[in-house]
Amino acid sequence: MEQLNSKLVVNPKIWDAKVGRAIGRSAKVLELNSRLNDIQVILKEHYYDIQRRHGYVTAEMVRNAYMGITQREESLLKVYEQHLEDTKKLVGLSKADPTYRKYERMYRRVVEFMKKKYNITDIPLREIKYYYCPLNFFLSD
């Protein structure tokens, strides 16, 4: 859940919190409710756009899009693509071609996994949950 300020003002006596609209038929009330409808449409447009681009949506992402707050987020696949590009430049110098092909294969598997398991096409790095797993967990006595 996120909150945003529409900068609209309404008399609390005519506000219906359950429906999120002003009650009445005056020109001011109709204008206010119309503006609220417009905001709702814009929020839905942002929601569907974000969903299409990222494969998932958070309330914060929608609020930030509505408020015009944009941030360049690094995503897993963008970082991986940069890694592939850097590795390709090193083939023949400090990296072997089979190493590069192994990284390409792993990239395709990561893309396939994200699509199949989570139905997403990419994920911002800040959304990845890291879990601590002590090394001795893997060692047997």
pLDDT class for 135, splitting at 50, 70, 90? low
Which residue type occupies 1? M
pLDDT digits (tens, 9 = 90+) for 21-58: 999 999 999 999 999 999 999 999 999 988 887 778 88
Q: How confident is the model at residue 106, as a pLDDT?
A: 96
Q: How confident is the model at residue 136, as a pLDDT?
A: 58
Q: How confident is the model at residue 116, as a pLDDT?
A: 94
2: Cβ contacts below 8 Å, ≥ 6 apart: 59, 60, 62, 63
pLDDT digits (tens, 9 = 90+) for 95-133: 999 999 999 999 999 999 999 988 888 888 877 877 766
102: Cβ contacts below 8 Å, ≥ 6 apart: none
Q: How confident is the model at residue 71, as a pLDDT?
A: 60
Q: How confident is the model at residue 47, as a pLDDT?
A: 93
Is 0.85 surpassed by the pTM of this model?
A: no
